[in-house]
Amino acid sequence: MNKNLKRKICFITGSRAEYGLLRPLMAKVRADETLCLQIIATTMHMSPEFGLTHKEIENDGFLINKKIETLLSSDTSVGISKSMGLTMISVSEALEDLRPDLVVLIGDRFETFAAASSALVSRLPIAHLYGGEITEGAFDDAMRHSITKMSHLHFTSTEVYRKRIIQLGEDPASIFNVGAIGIDNIKCIKLLKKNILEKELSFKFGRKNLIVTYHPVTLEYSTSLSQFGAILKALDGLKDTNLIFTKPNADVDGRIIINMIDEYVSRNRYRAISATSLGQLKYLSVLQFVDAVVGNSSSGIIEAPSFQIGTINIGDRQKGRVRAQSVIDCPPETKSIEKAILRVYSEEFQSMLKNTLSPFGDGTAAIKIKKILKKFFLKDILKKKFNDIDF
C-alpha cells in the first residue's frame, strides 16, 4: 500500500509512565502495514532532571518524529502553567507539520491536557485512553474529564468508567471498555529474573521488600512535606525491610519529595535505593519480588493486583478509582500507615492475596484498541452531539 494512503496515528507522550503504558499499542500500530505510526515526545521525556526518558523510547526501536522541550525547571504553579502554554504552542506546530489522521492520548496529566487542546483547535480527532476515572485528590481529575470532552474515541479500563463517560454526554457508540492497557505489559513482557534485576539495580532483595512511590496531592496546598514525612517515619520503624523508591512526576511541589527521598536513601544506603525512572521492564520486574506497593501511584491500583501483592494507598490522590481487594486505603498519618503495613504482612491478608482478581481486564487491550483505531469511520467525527440521559 502507498504510504501516503496509510492512516496516520500520532501518539503524544510526556512521561515515562505514559510511554510504558502506550508501548504495546504503539508496537501494534507500527506492525500494521495499513497504519503509519507517529510519535511526539515532550515535557519529562526531554528533561535531564527526569532521566531523559526519550532515550528509552528510541532504545525500544521507535522513531520519535518530534522532540519538544517544554518543561521548565520549576515545580511551582506558575512554572507548570508556563509549561502547559509552551506545550500547546509546540504541539500545535508539530501537528501542523505531521498532519495525522488521529491523535492518541492517555490519562490526565497537564501536558496531555495541553496536547488535547492543541489537537482540538487543529481539528484533529482524538482517541483517549483511561477516561471516566476519578482521582479526587488531584487536579488531574478535572483535566481527565476535560480531555474526555475534547476527544472523539474513548477507551476505558472498566465498565464503570465507560458508563461515566456516557454520563458526561459522550456517544455510547464511541466508547469502548477494553481493560487497562497496563495489564498487556504484564502478560507480554518477559520479566527479569531476580539475580539479573539485582545486578542492574545494584540492590539486594531482603526477607521483606517494599516499593514506594508518592506524588504530590495537587489539590492540597503544601502537604508534600508533612505527608511524605509521615510515610518515611513509618518506614523508619520497619525491621528487615528493604526499600526501593521511585521519584515523583513533574508536579507542583514534586521537588520537595525528591529531596526527601535523596536524603533518606543517603542515610539508609544499607537497605534503600532510589530511581528517577526504572522504566516499564524493571518496574514490573520489581513487582514480582516486593510484598507491597506503598504510596499513591496509579500502578498500585492498576498493575499491582495482577501480581497478587498488596497496595497501601495513602491519602486522596487516587480516591474514587475502582480497586481490587488487595488495596488498603489509609490516611497520610504515620500510625495509620504503620497499621496498614502490619496488615499487609498478616496471615489473613497474605492468604487473601492468593485469590486476588484484577478488575482491569485480561491483558488484550492493545489489540482491541488497534483494531478500532484502524477501522473506525472518521468522516464527520469532529462534530459531536451531546448524548442526553433521561433522568
- 63, part of any domain: yes
Q: Does one domain contain both 54 and 176?
A: yes
- 385, part of any domain: no
Looking at residue 379, what is its pLDDT? 93
Looking at residue 1, what is its pLDDT? 42
Looking at residue 218, what is its pLDDT? 65
- 187, part of any domain: no
Q: Classify residue 373 as exposed, middle or buried by CB count within 10 Å of its CB (0-12, 13-18, 19+).
A: buried
Q: Does one domain contain both 269 and 319?
A: yes
Looking at residue 2, what is its pLDDT? 45
**Summary mean pLDDT of the chain:** 93
Question: What nine digits make up the cell of 238?
Answer: 520497619
Task: Tell me: pLDDT of 292 over 50.
Answer: yes
Task: Tell me: pLDDT of 155 over 70.
Answer: yes
Our count of domains for the chain comes to: 2
Q: Which has the closest alpha carbon to 126: 9, 7, 23, 20?
A: 9
Q: Does one domain contain both 152 and 255?
A: no
- Percent pLDDT > 70 in the chain is 97
Q: Give the residue-averaged pLDDT of 371-379.
A: 96
Tell me the pLDDT tens digit for each residue of 235-277.
998 999 999 999 987 667 788 999 999 999 999 999 999 998 8
Inter-CA distances, 24 with 42, 64, 122, 185, Å: 19, 16, 27, 7
Q: Does one domain contain both 212 and 165?
A: no
Q: Give the residue-averaged pLDDT of 53-77.
A: 89
Tell me the pLDDT tens digit for each residue of 136-151.
877 888 999 999 999 9
Q: Give the residue-averaged pLDDT of 60-68.
A: 96
Range of the domain at 315: 192-353
Looking at residue 4, what is its pLDDT? 61
Q: Give the residue-averaged pLDDT of 343-354.
A: 96
CATH code assigned at 294: 3.40.50.2000
Q: Does one domain contain both 42 and 63?
A: yes
Q: Which has the closest alpha carbon to 253: 219, 226, 227, 216?
A: 216
Torsion sign across C-alpha atoms 159, 163, 164, 170: positive
Looking at residue 35, what is its pLDDT? 98
- 380, part of any domain: no
- 265, part of any domain: yes
- 382, part of any domain: no
Task: For residues 68 and 133, give the distance between their C-alpha atoms in angstroms, rounded to a whole number.
Answer: 28
Q: Which has the closest alpha carbon to 12: 35, 45, 51, 60?
A: 45
Q: Does one domain contain both 257 and 347?
A: yes
- 391, part of any domain: no
Tell me the pLDDT tens digit for each residue of 307-348.
999 999 999 889 889 999 999 999 999 999 999 999 999 999
